[in-house]
């Protein structure tokens, strides 16, 4: 694929060599290049600066930049590995790697723990879960009485919070997810297996030799 040499991609802030990114992730070099096509389209949707802002991320997720969503914000924060308020290409590929069908279950469990540990204390606390439940109810327009929310929280913490200290630690989370594997469904994106067919135009911008793919 060395026919179309271009240095355009190297001018993207945070651009990293696809061969290097492939060596660190479950993606092949061609898949990293196909992801770059997706990345370019998201990062230029509002401001064409080669970086993904929260607004651009939400626009790609909801097709509507005005939609505020607690969970989308959390996911964006986890993509923003360097805490710069924006996601660069390396962040994008490394974080999507957690969602790869071949990523380890351990990594997926760890990602969900960080996702739900809203304030980053190292525990998923009851008030955080309550906050997330209220957010999901607002999002879905489903109405549940406060007492019903507390019943759901009681039931969840009885099962997950093994030492009953009112918060879920990493080890309790690991055990809870093992007993409820459907909770990891959000962590696998089958799309990532077909990324090169979804974004075939990567072949026109490839900067690596076919041997490397």
Partner 1 sequence: VASQNPVTMNAFELISTSQGLNLGTLFEK
| Residues within the interface to partner 1 (CB under 8 A) | 38, 42, 60-63, 69-75, 96, 99, 115-116, 129, 132-133, 135-137, 139-140, 142, 144, 148, 151-153, 155-156, 159-160, 176, 180, 182-183, 185-186, 189, 191, 195, 198
Choose between 9 and 58: whose C-beta lies nearer to partner 1: 58
In whole angstroms, give the CA distance from residue 179 to residue 207: 45
DSSP-assigned beta bridge partners for residue 52:
87
Shortest spacing between CB 25 and partner 1, in angstroms: 16
Shortest spacing between CB 59 and partner 1, in angstroms: 10
Choose between 194 and 209: whose C-beta lies nearer to partner 1: 194
User: Radius of gyration over alpha carbons of the chain, in Å?
Assistant: 20
Shortest spacing between CB 190 and partner 1, in angstroms: 8
Choose between 163 and 180: whose C-beta lies nearer to partner 1: 180
Burial of 89 (0-12, 13-18, 19+ CB in 10 A): buried
Let me know: does 115 contact 78? Beta carbons within 8 Å.
yes
Residue 167: helix, strand or coil by DSSP? strand
Query: Hey, what are 118's tokens?
Result: 């809203």
Shortest spacing between CB 193 and partner 1, in angstroms: 11
């Amino acid at each position: 694929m060395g026919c179309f040499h271009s240095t355009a991609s190297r001018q993207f802030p945070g651009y990293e060599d696809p061969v290097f990114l492939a060596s660190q992730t479950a993606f092949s070099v061609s898949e990293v290049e196909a992801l770059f096509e997706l990345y370019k389209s998201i990062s230029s949707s509002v401001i064409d600066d080669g970086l993904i802002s929260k607004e651009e991320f939400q626009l790609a997720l909801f097709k509507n930049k005005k939609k505020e969503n607690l969970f989308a914000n959390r996911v964006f924060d986890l993509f923003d590995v360097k805490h710069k308020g924006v996601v660069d290409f390396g962040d994008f590929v490394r974080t999507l790697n957690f969602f790869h069908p071949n990523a380890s279950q351990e990594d997926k469990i760890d990602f969900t723990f960080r996702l739900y540990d809203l304030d980053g204390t190292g525990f998923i606390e009851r008030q955080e879960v309550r906050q997330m439940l209220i957010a999901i109810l607002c999002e879905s327009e489903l109405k549940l009485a406060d007492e019903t929310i507390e019943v759901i929280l009681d039931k969840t913490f009885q099962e997950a919070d093994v030492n009953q200290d009112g918060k879920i630690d990493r080890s309790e989370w690991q055990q809870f997810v093992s007993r409820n594997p459907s909770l990891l469904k959000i962590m696998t994106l089958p799309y990532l297996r077909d990324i090169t067919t979804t974004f075939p135009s990567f072949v026109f911008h490839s900067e690596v030799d076919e041997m490397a793919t």
